[in-house]
Amino acid sequence: MLVSTAWLEQHLHDADVLVLFTGQKADYDTAHIPGALFLAYTDIQAAPGALTLELPTMDRLAEVFEKLGATNDSHLVLYASKGITAAETRVFLTLDTMGLGSHTSILNGGFSAWQGEGRAASAELRAVTPGKLQLCPQSDTGVDADYVRGNLRQPGVDIVDARDPQYYSGASTSTGKRAGHIPGATNLTYSTLIDEDGKLNSEEKLRQQFAAAGVQPGDRVVSYCHIGQQATMVYFAARYLGMDARLYDGSWEEWSAHASWPAEVAK
């Protein structure tokens, strides 16, 4: 799930390695890892609807990645400008749902680590030969609101709020949203999973963080946040540790919109 800058440099020209940049287009245009292609974040979002972020159809997603040259034999390597980002782990979640998670890695430390080590960069755009994908969509990457409502404080199911503590506690609210969190949820802020160099925390530290959030061995981790982006960082870290992880994609945006669904605030 993670590759180092040294590994990527060694395998950069392998026929099956497809490197995708997941940040801002202006940053990509200025300089990128040689041969990397730009993945527009909006291309993996459904047309605006009830929720800010929703996955498009599998056919649409296949089209997006085929245009970038992806095949079922590709090893997709995702990276962003400065370390690992939540937008990047959202792309990982998308590919995992498409059935390509076992073929997808994130570059630990991102472009900032790559450049900081003096590795080559380029502004050149390479030609792309479209690929062909046969997807095997997975049903074990996400859950809906009915699942969450049916598993509040359920032993073995840990609902984890990935937002900053002030939103979890109810001290702050987003515009138009209720205060607080899903009843029984614990807080594991997404940004704390990454170190000061933009790399994923060590396995030992991650296990300590999940344990502090009440996650017991064998539990299912269901993460959520504001709109289903920050929570994918928790999803990625949990899967990295071999846990059964799911994303509640509707997140607080959907939950807060239903006044009859309960909310808790910190006491």
Fold: same for 2-116 and 142-256? yes
- 249 — pLDDT class (breaks 50, 70, 90): very high
How does DSSP assign the chain, residue by residue? -EE-HHHHHHHTT-TTEEEEE-S-HHHHHH-BSTT-EE--GGGGSPSS-SSS-----HHHHHHHHHHTT--TT-EEEEE-SSS--HHHHHHHHHHHHTT-GGGEEEETTHHHHHHHTT---B----------------SSSEE-HHHHHTTTT-TTEEEEE-S-HHHHHTSS--TT--SSB-TT-EE--GGGGB-TTS-BPPHHHHHHHHHHTTPPTTPEEEEE-SSSSTHHHHHHHHHHTT-EEEEETTHHHHHHT-TTS--B---
pLDDT at 232 over 80: yes
In angstroms, the CA 40 to CA 145 distance is 28
Question: Mean pLDDT for the chain?
Answer: 96
Domain spanning 2-116: CATH superfamily: Rhodanese-like domain (3.40.250.10)
- 48 — pLDDT class (breaks 50, 70, 90): confident
Token representation of residue 115: 């450049």
Architecture of the domain whose range is 142-256: 3-Layer(aba) Sandwich (3.40)
In angstroms, the CA 22 to CA 82 distance is 11
Give pLDDT tens digits for 86-133.
Answer: 999 999 999 999 999 999 999 999 999 999 999 999 999 999 999 999
Give pLDDT tens digits for 181-194.
Answer: 999 999 999 999 99
What single-letter amino acid sits at 242? G
Mean pLDDT along residues 54-79: 96
Domain ranges across the chain? 2-116, 142-256
